């Protein structure tokens, strides 16, 4: 088992999908977890309650990652509840489909604010609180490396920005003994992209394994990077896409 006993984590966008699986995986490893949510209040509160039933401390914090003022506030609330912070997982993101020609500028701005500015500002807010051995892990997308179909250009662009962010921040925080890494999932079976959805067969056809990832499989990759076992890994991208980029 991955040993995270005594660690304190903040997961953004942790109420559902991959984010919720990350909350569970970190708690299974022994960490106490705070996580943010934007709209899924009932799911967030239910998840926090279920984590407390395992003996781990957990709290759901309402915060929209697209709102700059909500970020330092939620970080402060997490630290107050947890008594400190060792791990940040930037999981909150929104999807977008459509061509650049038809791109609505308000929609574009919210996409950038959530998917790019959000991870930057959350990282900025937690850095002063991380000691040696701290972890910053961000959830990207395999689309940052390959865009095999039209209609996801703007979304892929936001995820590609996280590659450079991860590499650069690893250089800044390396002297402090803090690692910074990126996990790039491929097609993952969530409410937002169900394996039995209309595009499921097409997405499976692009993978080596012929299947979608399960959210917990992405979460265990995150838990590994958060653990002492990954102490020498930083500035790296861990691709978890069932072989879509093979």
DSSP code of 199?
A: T
Task: State the pLDDT at residue 55.
Answer: 86
Among the listed residues 37, 108, 155, 220, the single catalytic one is 155
Q: What is the C-alpha separation between 143 and 245, in angstroms, rounded? A: 9
Task: State the pLDDT at residue 210.
Answer: 97
DSSP line for 35-100:
EEESS-HHHHHHHHHHHHTTT--EEEEE--TT-TTHHHHHHHHHHHHHTS-SEEEE-------S-S
Picking from 165, 24, 31, 153, the residue whose alpha carbon sits closest to that of residue 90 is 165
CB-CB contact of 147 with 103 (8 Å): no
Residue 155 among the catalytic residues? yes
Tell me which H or E stretch contains 168. Answer: helix 153-173
Give bridge partners of residue 172 from the DSSP assignment: none
Tell me which H or E stretch contains 204. Answer: helix 200-205
**Architecture, CATH, for domain 8-240:** 3-Layer(aba) Sandwich (3.40)
Q: Residue 197 to residues 22, 136, 192, 203: CA-CA distances in angstroms?
A: 23, 32, 10, 10
- Token output for 227: 């653990």
Please enumerate in sequence order all residues whose Cβ is within 8 A of that of 90, keeping only pairs 6 or more positions apart, or say none.
12, 118, 119, 122, 123, 136, 137, 138, 139
Picking from 72, 88, 73, the residue whose alpha carbon sits closest to that of residue 34 is 88
Task: State the pLDDT at residue 25.
Answer: 96
Task: State the pLDDT at residue 1.
Answer: 62
Task: State the pLDDT at residue 51.
Answer: 84
Domain locations in the chain as residue ranges: 8-240
Tell me which H or E stretch contains 136. Answer: strand 135-139
Picking from 216, 207, 195, the residue whose alpha carbon sits closest to that of residue 241 is 207
Q: What is the C-alpha separation between 178 and 88, in angstroms, rounded? A: 11
Parallel, antiparallel or unpaired: strands 58-62 and 32-37: parallel
Task: State the pLDDT at residue 53.
Answer: 76
CB-CB contact of 116 with 37 (8 Å): no
Task: State the pLDDT at residue 54.
Answer: 81
> Could you list the mean pLDDT of each consecutive 10-residue stretch along the chain, which spans 246 residues?
92 97 96 95 93 88 97 98 98 95 96 98 98 98 95 97 98 98 97 93 96 98 97 98 96
């Amino acid at each position: 088992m991955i040993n995270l006993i005594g660690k304190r984590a903040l997961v953004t966008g942790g109420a559902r999908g991959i984010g919720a699986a990350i909350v569970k995986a970190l708690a299974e490893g022994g960490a106490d977890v705070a996580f943010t949510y934007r709209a899924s209040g009932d799911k967030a509160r239910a998840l926090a309650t279920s984590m407390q039933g395992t003996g781990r401390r957990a709290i759901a914090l309402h915060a929209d990652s697209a709102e700059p003022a909500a970020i330092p506030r939620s970080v402060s609330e997490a630290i107050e509840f947890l008594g400190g912070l060792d791990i940040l997982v930037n999981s909150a993101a929104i999807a977008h489909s459509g061509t650049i020609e038809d791109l609505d500028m308000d929609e574009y701005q919210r996409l950038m604010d959530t998917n790019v500015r959000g991870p930057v500002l959350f990282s900025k807010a937690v850095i002063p609180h991380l000691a040696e051995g701290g972890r910053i892990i961000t959830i990207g997308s395999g689309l940052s490396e390959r865009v095999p179909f039209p209609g996801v250009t703007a979304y892929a662009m936001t995820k590609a920005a996280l590659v450079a962010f991860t590499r650069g921040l690893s250089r800044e925080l390396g002297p402090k003994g803090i690692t910074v890494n990126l996990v790039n999932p491929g097609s993952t079976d969530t409410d937002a992209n169900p394996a039995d959805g209309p595009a499921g067969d097409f997405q499976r056809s692009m993978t080596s394994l012929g299947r979608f990832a399960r959210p917990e499989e992405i979460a265990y990759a995150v838990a590994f990077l958060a653990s002492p076992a990954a102490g020498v890994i930083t500035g790296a991208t861990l691709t978890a896409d069932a072989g879509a980029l093979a």
